[in-house]
Structure 1
Amino acid sequence: METGRIIVSIIFFVLGLVFFFNNKNMSKFAAKFYKWLYTEKNLRVIFRIVGIILIVGGVLILVLK
């Protein structure tokens, strides 16, 4: 069970880093796809928030036993 928890926390942490640092590239693609709904600037903020949530979630899963 401990190994599974570590793997899940690493996945959350990596996904959080991807969302946090790669939000510029992702927001350009998503802005083209959801042009009528969101702007690129708003999507950058959304992806950064999602990245922070995933990073914190990964750390909490790893720390809390």
Structure 2
Amino acid sequence: MYNFKRIGMNEIERIKELFTSVFTVEPWNDDWSNQEQLDLYLSDLVGQSNSLTFGLFEDEQL
């Protein structure tokens, strides 16, 4: 079953895993090997007080 729910910094490890699995391959081929840069980037997206971030979950998998 699919659920659409709000996510935040408490899900950051799951977000990092999904983000890198998507954006390090075709068609993007981005280099996100620098963990500090990745943490800062995702914190800017997800960790701000005005951030509205949602995830699509299948059972409990993002």
Q: With structure 2 as the length reference, what TM-score do the two structures score?
A: 0.38
User: Larger % of strand: which?
Assistant: 2
The higher relative CO (CA closer than 8 Å, separation ≥ 6) is in 2
User: Larger % of helix: which?
Assistant: 1
Q: With structure 1 as the length reference, what TM-score do the two structures score?
A: 0.37
